[in-house]
Structure formats: structure tokens, C-alpha cells
Amino acid sequence: MTVRIRVAVETPQHTGLGAPLSYESERELAPGTLVHVPLGRREVTGVVWPGEPEDAADVVLKPVSRVLSALPPLPRAWCELVEFTAAYYQRGVGEVALSVLPPELRKLDDEQVANRIAKLHRKWPQPDPQAARPQTPPLSPEQSAALDRLAQLNSDSAPTALLHGVTGSGKTEVYLRAAEQALAAGKQALVLVPEINLTPQLEARFAERFVGRSIVSLHSGLTPAQRLRNWLAAHLGLADLVLGTRLAVFASMPRLGLIVVDEEHDPSYKQQEGARYSARDLAVYRGKREGAPVLLGSATPSLETWHRANEGRYVRLSLSSRIGGGALPRVRLVDMNLLPKTRGVTTAMAPPLVAAIQERIARGEQSLVFLNRRGYAPVLHCGDCAWKSGCPHCSAWRVFHKLDRTLRCHHCGFTERVPRACPECGNLDIAPIGRGTERLEEQLAGMLQTPDGSAARIARIDADSTRLKGTLEAQLGAVHAGDVDVLVGTQMVTKGHDFRRITLVAAVNPDSSLFSSDFRAPERLFALLMQAAGRAGRDAAQAERSEMWVQTWYPTHPLYAALRRHDFEAFAQSQAKEREMAGLPPYAHLAMLRADAKTVEAARGFLQAAAEVASELPGADAVMVYPPVPLHVARVADVERMQMLVESSSRVALQRFLSLWMPTLHELRLQRKAPEQRVLRWAVDVDPLSI
């Protein structure tokens, strides 16, 4: 006798089939069981889904091909997390479920899975209760108070707490102690970090503290075999601690007892392709659903999180002082308007700043110079005919990389050798405009030296210099060992790193975000500068002479006034007032419909047609649909990109509207078959981070 079951499979988006499909099975299968089923002419991996299949007695269902019975079923709580993600972010259940599972699982049959699990059990280190525990540092009064409050909340129904602590205040120690309490209760702990390059560093901290405990990491930098091994360890309950990036929020953990989201404000927690989920928001949902406390940590919380804490929906825990009583770095603003100009061009580094860095080198201290632009220069320019190194496939400039003499587009990857002369007029004198980290490194090397007259040791950390495996770890090791005098880098070096010898941080060109059309740009800039400032003076003995220098053309801007006082609350309050007056998050809820096409007319036409359909839907009066506009970089890889904003004062009304709108969008794309009307792809982004 056969039974009907629901199976979540990854279906093509154009089909509009987002719900689990019905199949026939020779036996009952527990929800969460992995299976192989036919889909069209292919055989695909699926997950048996909770719920009753549709009653369609006259329909002949396809049978399940194979069952991965060796793998214990995924927990029901995991299925509920995936289902919520798919519904909220308007994606298919199967698409979300299969995208967050290790890809290697799709390639294995039941026997191979059984062998992997058996091998994992054989080689997995057993917990050693007799292992020597490292000596833990004493807690500050604020850390003790935060942990006591968190322990009290554990008895409540899945609380969410915001740990608001200045840089260097010991937030990581609070994470460690909270995880210690969870493990002592026989639970597992999940710790999320925003960047891959922070995962090994945090993993080392946890491994040092939790001797004899099993710790695994989950992030996109792992090989497929490593990712499957670590995922299985978490799913089988062998791993006590799981550390990872946003993908790890979906780790299957049967004994989940704590979720930590470090640097919760970081934009990296928002997925930008496929199902555009926010790992931070899903962590909060998962904690409530599974009864696990959630700890959100940041020195500069997102305004959404700050607003919820002010409303009392989150508990606020404060760490207002640095460990050891060290002072926060003094912020000094350099007014670029007062600097002398040579042939109309202002020097890259203010002489007082160069002198301050030179002074640090003489004292054997380190400096960090931050410029959030890689490459040598943003553009090459011909002074005779005004030619610039634009990308032929994108509405963006190709960046000049001097080291390999290339012009490289950072959007589509198109790369060419630097021309010997201007392609338009043949002028041999083409010159770089602006500067990136590569050029800044070169300029600093020509200006700085050690007391004995030798060249200063300068290192650069950005996406170009750390492309090869192991280079990032090697460069960070050199900084920690004191083998570097000046570290030049992008935002990769401004967050999470505990550089004990750095006493000066300089932000070279931060003004570009002050007047951006994106309403979140000031918030991101303030957080980035606060995080960068936090790299200085982390050693209490050097804190009194630590400084942050900011080169700016707008020294009287309110953002810099709040930065000088390290006053996040004042900045957040001013931003909240502006957003409330403008009807922006957290006082409103947004979704973005984006369309890509070969022509601007096709993309705009699709969005305008979608707006017309939207106006006829029930509940359309509860949302505002704005006219289509191009993205900041409108063309990428010869594809035109347009977007249309949808706004509502009610999250429920917005979700109800989107659920009715999505099926019409699938139909609309199928109707527009003419070449001049066709869109290549479209997607809805709920709670978009960039506008």
C-alpha cells in the first residue's frame, strides 16, 4: 500500500511553484527525511515536508525514487524556520530548504551518507571532562551584571537581549560565559559573525576557552567536504558550538540553547542573492520558536534593533566602559579645506596626520589607515580629450590596478591591460584620478621611515591582497606580531580584530556617504567609523594616547560631532527623528521589486505593468508603490537594472499584499514574450538594506 507525502523540491522560479509537491511513497516517511524524487526529466533532492498533501484522488503521483534513511530527519523546528523564511521573503519552500543544506548531500546515496556518518563517529574526538580548563579573566562589574540579567531571562520564554557595548568593553567574554552556561546545561550554542575572515579568529578564542569541547565552523569558505562534515556534526549533536556567517543560522542543531549574533548591525547578515533573508532577524525568530535566548551584540546597533530595545521588545544590556578602564580614542577632525593645494589638487594625507603616524613609528607603536576603496585609483583620465576608463559593459568606471597594470571592473570583472596611450586621441599622458588602498600604500611608503632611516614596514589588507588562501591569516599574524608599522586597508580591517599595538587610526576619505541618496548611508558610515576607532587603544596601557584622525571636507557635520563624543545614542536619536518624519524604517516597512532586462524600456515596462496590477489587488490602499527608478549602478554586464519601492506602515499589510502580488508577477513575466518586452529576471527584496 502506498501513501501520499509532501516533498519540498527546488523548482525553477518561472514556474511559480513555491509550495511542496505531492509524491507517492511505499511507506510512511518522517517529516525532515531527505529523498530523491523525479521532477520533470530530472531526479532531484527533496525534503519530506510536514503537513497533509492535497487530496487529488484522480491524479497519478510520481513515486519517490530513493530515501536517505541513514541520515536522521531534520527537526520539525528547522522545517518551520525554513517555511517562515520562504513565506516572509517571498521565495519557494524548496528553494530555501535546498539552498541552505550542504550541496554535497545532493550527490550522495544512502550508503555513502551512512559511511560518512560512521566515519564521523569514529574520528570525532570524545569530550574530555578531565581536560585542564584555562584560567578565565575576571569580569568587570558591567559584564557580571549583564550575565546575571541574561541568566534571569533564561527562565523567560526565549528572550532577545541587545548587548550594547563600546569597542573593547569585553562583549566577546560575555559571549564566552553565556555559551559556557548553555553547554553546562547540555545545550548547543550558535555564534554568528558577519565576515568569513573573523570566523577563524573567534574560533581560536572559543577553542582556547572550551578545551575538550567540539567546535565547528560553517561558512562559504569551506570546501564541500568540510561543510558537509561540520554540518553533520551539528545535526547529529556531536558539535557543542557552531560558529559561522549568515548561512549558519540554518544549521540543524537538536539541542539549541543559545544564539549569539556578533556585530548585529553589519549589512553582511543580509543575503543579496536568491532568498534575500536577514540572518539576524531569522536568529531572533528561531530563538523565540525554539526557546533559546538570543544575544545581539554591537557597539553601534542597527536603528531597527535600537528601536525595539527602546520599545521594550528586547532587553538592553550595557557595557559602557573598556576593559581595564582604558579610554576610547580621542577623535581629531582634519579640515581638508584648509590644506594647501598643488596645481589645484589637495594632498592625500594631511601633514599633521603624517607627522602623527611618524611619531607612532618612532615609539614602536602601530597605525591603521582606513580607505574603503581598493585598487590604485578609481579611474584613468586623459587630460586632452577627457576620456575616462569606463567599463563597456557596466555604467561604472574600471579601476586602475598598478601592481598588475590592469583596468578592472569591480562589478562584472571585465579586465584589460592598461593602454599605452589614450584610446580616443592617442595622448600618451593618461593619469590616475583619486586613490585606492594600493596608491595610498605607495604614497605612505614614500613618506614614512623608521628612526634608523630605513623604510617603514607597511602592509595592505583588502580583497586584492588577500585573494590567495592563507594570505589574510599571514598578514594578520604579522600585524599581531609587531612586524608591521602601518596597516592600510578597507573595511576588512575595521571590525572585530583585536590589534593590541595600534594607537592611531586614520580615515582618509569617509565623506562620500554623507549625502548619499540611500537613507541608511549615514548609519553605515557612523558604524564603520566607530568600529574603526575601536581598533585603537585596546591595550589599556596605551589607551590614553590613542587617537582617531578623520580627514573631512565637512568638519561641522552632525555625524562627526557625535563621533567625536563617541555618542551613539545622540546619533541614533537624531537619525530616528529624521526617519520618523520621512516615514522610513523602523517606522515603516519596505519591499523592493527589481527587474533586469537587456533594455531600460523592457525593465521599466515590466515594473510599470506590475504597478498597474498592484493597484487592483485587495489591500492595495494599505501600501504605496513608487515609480520605477534605475539602481545606483544601472547597467552591469550589459544588463539594465531597474527597481520599484513598495512601502507600508503595517508589516502585516505589506506581507498580505506581497502574497497576492507574487502570483501575478509570475503571470506578467510569461505574458511579456516579445523581445522588446522580455525581462531576464525579477525578484522581490523584503526589508531591503540599500535603496
Q: Are strands 366-370 and 502-507 parallel, antiparallel or unpaired?
A: parallel
Here the cell at position 242 is: 557552531
Say which DSSP state 16 is in: T
Max Cα distance, the chain (Å): 89
Return the closest-CA partner of residue 171 out of 493, 524, 540, 496: 496
**Interaxial angle between packed helices 279-290 and 76-88, expressed in degrees from 0 to 180 and rounded to the nearest 10:** 140
Helices (H), 389-502: 437-447, 471-480
Query: Is the C-alpha dihedral spanning 245, 250, 252, 255 positive or negative?
Result: positive
CA angle 241, 243, 248 (to 5 degrees): 110
- The DSSP code sequence of 568-621 is HHHHHHHHHHHHHHHT-TTSSEEEEEEEEESSHHHHHHHHHHHHHHHHTSTTGG
* Nearest-5° Cα angle at 591, 586 to 592: 130
Question: Crossing angle of helices 303-311/568-582, nearest 10°?
Answer: 90
3-state secondary structure of 79: helix
Q: Grid coordinates in use for 521? A: 548611508
- CA pair distance 137, 135, nearest whole angstrom: 7
Q: Could you tell me the sign of the dihedral formed by the alpha carbons of 64, 69, 70, 76, in that order?
A: positive
- Burial pattern 290-327, b for ≥16 Cβ within 10 A else e, equals bebbbbbbbbbbbbbbbbbbeeeebbbbebebbbeebe
Residue indicated by cell numbers 499584499: 657
Integer Cα distance of 255 and 249 in angstroms: 14
Pick from 286, 236, 258: nearest CA to 80 = 286
Provide the grid cell at 561: 560631532
Residue 79, marked binder: no
The dihedrals phi and psi of 631, each to the nearest 5 degrees, come to -70, 170
Identity of the amino acid at 275: A
DSSP state of 130: T
Instruction: Summarize the annotated binding site for Zn(2+) as residue ranges.
Output: 382, 385, 391, 394, 409, 412, 422, 425
Instruction: Summarize the annotated binding site as residue ranges.
Output: 382, 385, 391, 394, 409, 412, 422, 425
